[in-house]
Structure 1
Amino acid sequence: MTDSAGTDPTNRSLIDSWRFAVGTLTVIPVSPPRSGDRAVSGPAMVLAPLAVVPLGLLVALVCLAGRELGLASIGVAAAAVGALALGSRAFHLDGLADTADGLTASYDAERSLAVMKTGDVGPAGAGALVLTLGMQVGAITALLGLDHGPWLAGLMVIVSRGVLTLTCLRGVPAARTGGLGSASVGAVHPAVTVAVWVALTAAMSAMFVVGGEAWWRGPVSAVVAVVVVAIVVRRAVKRLGGVTGDVFGASIELALAALLLSAT
């Protein structure tokens, strides 16, 4: 069946989900979706790894260019991380800082959530940013010494966005109503999450094999990322009563750091 404009409603919903994912996770200009309800935002979380493929390519190309020019590895790695931050409007870094501040502000959930909404960066948030970005830069610096390192770094950027299928897993509660992440909370079926991570793990294993390394490093990297996000989500549920959009961003940045480090 088609609507009055001759468009299949299923295809229209998928297009809206794609626009939601690209518009939320990257700076790439797209038309806004017709709605941001669960029917759109849920599939958008599943499409997140595909939506950030341009960002993964950006990181890989920055690393390749810097290495070919003979630039200092740590500077190239910092430039790659900076380009990624610009490509995502530093959206997830903001979530990381807010989550760290909120979880250390108070044992009262309402007080913690209020701190997370202020937008100010406190000592915990600043510390989380420095340590997480330091891990990312340090790991990419090491990866630049591998022939396939730049491509591996780019792939890890793509894989890291797959953690949204974990933060939005059915059964994970929302900490509050309203907010950018509220419509996506609990919107992903466990079977879909498993399918996404099987595909992402296979991609990582293939990249390791292409680089002449053991295939099992793919599953190990996947397990590391999943465990890190599980700890973050469990902590958020215990302290805040559920997850928020900030927790989504924190999970992405921490998972990326863990993935890059495990790849070394």
Structure 2
Amino acid sequence: MKNILPFFTRLPVEGDFEKARGELWALPLVALLSSALPTAVLYLNLPLGNVLAVLALYFTIGLLHLDGLADWADGMMVKGDRERKVKAMKDLNTGIAGVFAVVIVLFLQVYSLQLVPFYALFLAELNSKFAMLLALATKRPLGDGLGAYFMGGMKEGQLVIGTALYVLLLLPIVFIEPRSLVSLLGLLTGAYVIYLSLRNFGGLNGDCIGAVAEITRAGTLLTLALVR
């Protein structure tokens, strides 16, 4: 598991690039680490805890996925054929669509975290990491970047193990609080982003997978906030 941590968190762990794509099944376990600090902030009920929790989250996972979300949104909003959309997504300059998408996702997370129980961020991160695993399991790479590299190592067994881990991590919270089962609806937002990416770009790259992660987390938190 330690080999994938440098790619999905900022934790000071050294990983082996060649072995990382063989550990994708552990993505649900990464949620335990990536949500630990922000969940502790929420549990302590500190002033402006929702804002501090979001800051703690990105301190842990970094801003790479947010950057991917911005690029994805720029590509999605371009009118024209698939080639133009992919070109816009790969443009190094961030457009207004990308800025808007990042602001909305951050706002939804900050807003929702003031309305949900402290463990909600763990559920959101669990969904986020599992949605990334599902995106990689499509094995529809776009280009030759890091996304394609990870997809190349994605085996059916990894998806089976990852799904089992996802269920095992979800069940204890659902047993204690049955209403938390509604968090499964958050996965639908990730699935929809995967669908939009395939339809508009013809595949998924690192930017698309970053968008899946960010939108799934925000969608899960918003869902939990609405049914509190």
The alignment's TM-score, normalised by the length of structure 2, stands at: 0.87
Distance 1:231 1:51 in 2: 23
CA 1:263/1:237 → structure 2, altered by over 3 Å: closer, same or farther?
Answer: same
Q: Is the 8 A contact 2:3 2:17 kept in 1?
A: no
Which residue pairs with 2:190 in the alignment? 229
Q: CA deviation at 1:241?
A: 1.2
Distance 2:148 2:127 in 1: 23
CA 1:137/1:201 → structure 2, altered by over 3 Å: closer, same or farther?
Answer: farther
Q: Is the 8 A contact 1:175 1:241 kept in 2?
A: yes
Which residue pairs with 1:173 in the alignment? 140
Q: Select the residue among 51, 54, 63 that pairs with 2:30.
A: 51
Moved over 6 A (4+): none
| Letter matched to residue 57 of structure 1 | A
Please state if 1:207 is matched with 2:173: yes
Distance 1:168 1:41 in 2: 13
Please state if 1:255 is matched with 2:222: no
Which residue pairs with 1:61 in the alignment? 40
Q: Is the 8 A contact 1:173 1:186 kept in 2?
A: no
Q: Select the residue among 196, 200, 221 that pairs with 2:162.
A: 196
Which residue pairs with 2:206 in the alignment? 245
3-state SS in 1 of match to 2:113: helix
Which residue pairs with 2:151 in the alignment? 185
Larger radius of gyration: 1
Q: CA deviation at 1:29?
A: 2.0
Which residue pairs with 1:13 in the alignment? none
Which residue pairs with 1:3 in the alignment? none
| Letter matched to residue 107 of structure 1 | G
What's the % identity of the aligned pairs? Answer: 26
Q: CA deviation at 1:33?
A: 0.9
CA-to-aligned-CA distance 1:232-260 (integer Å, 9 cap, x gap)? 11211121110000111100111111221
Which residue pairs with 2:13 in the alignment? 30
Which residue pairs with 1:156 in the alignment? 124
Q: Is the 8 A contact 2:85 2:201 kept in 1?
A: yes
| Letter matched to residue 191 of structure 2 | A
Q: CA deviation at 1:202?
A: 4.4
Distance 2:222 2:160 in 1: 23
Distance 1:158 1:198 in 2: 12
- Unaligned runs of 5+ residues in structure 1 are 1-17, 144-148
Query: How many residues were matched structurally?
Result: 225
Please state if 1:139 is matched with 2:100: no
